[in-house]
Amino acid sequence: MNNILTLIPSPRRLLILFAGVVVPLLIAGEIAENLLEQERFLFEQPMMMWIHHHTTPLMIQASKVLNIIGHLPYASLIAVVLAAWQWHLHRLSRAVFILLGTLLSAGIMAVAKYFFDRPRPQFWPRIVEAANTSFPSGHSTYAAALATLVIILYWHTPQLWLVTAAALLFAFSMGLSRMVLGVHYPTDVVVGWITGSVTVILLQQVMRRDWSQRKVKIEKNDV
């Protein structure tokens, strides 16, 4: 009986899952349904033109840097370095969590790009080259996945609020940079954020029991 009760999430965890998984998935589903029905989002062009008219040279340079960081080779390198660091600290489950989180997010994003096949925006000449299709944003997916991974890893530490602020700023900046560069619609960015964060949250729920057991063993070995 006690084993069964331990499988029931606490009210706090249920609230986090509802706010971090259910609500975002409903939003992503609504956007995806509209795309499948080939309905246009009337707010996107005015929003992108507003961003374009208020873009500064510094924003363009920062967006170019983020564009490089979000490309597959560099994004993969960052994930591997983080995983290697956790491995070095004898935190095997966390290393696996980082690698699986980034790989699953990228895989889901790639399938969605192929399935929806949304052309990229053409509101002004592109500042950078962008291959394949637009929906969802791969850079935003990666940034949200990485941000969520880091927040979860620091969840029970004194640095949580500082890390959360930095992670959210990184994910937001990456998403904004895609619109600054004119290579993604706002809905591409939003669903990219949702894809990355929800994938990592669900993966964490699956791995949580094994992670907790390994953490106890590691802490005993460190004593």
Q: Which residues contact 123 (CB under 8 A, 6 or more apart)?
A: 45, 48, 49, 52, 182
pLDDT, average across residues 9-27: 77
Confidence of residue 223 (pLDDT cuts 50, 70, 90): very low
Q: pLDDT at position 113, please?
A: 93
What whole-number distance in Å separates Cα of residue 105 and Cα of residue 101? 6
Question: What's the half-sphere exposure (Cβ side, CA atoms, 13 Å) at 178?
Answer: 32
Residue 16 amino acid letter: I
Q: Domain spans of the chain?
A: 46-222
pLDDT, average across residues 18-42: 88
What is the 3 state secondary structure string of 203-219? HHHHHHHHHHHHHHHHH
What whole-number distance in Å separates Cα of residue 124 and Cα of residue 18? 39
pLDDT value at 6 more than 60 = no
pLDDT value at 142 more than 70 = yes
Percent of the chain exceeding pLDDT 70 equals 87
Short-list 221, 220, 208, 3, CA closest to 94: 208
Short-list 190, 201, 187, 177, CA closest to 69: 177
pLDDT value at 217 more than 80 = no
- State pTM to two decimals: 0.85
The pLDDT mean for the chain works out to: 86
What whole-number distance in Å separates Cα of residue 160 and Cα of residue 169? 14
Q: pLDDT at position 211, please?
A: 53
Q: pLDDT at position 5, please?
A: 38
pLDDT, average across residues 134-139: 94
Confidence of residue 180 (pLDDT cuts 50, 70, 90): very high
Under CATH, to which class is 46-222 assigned? mainly alpha
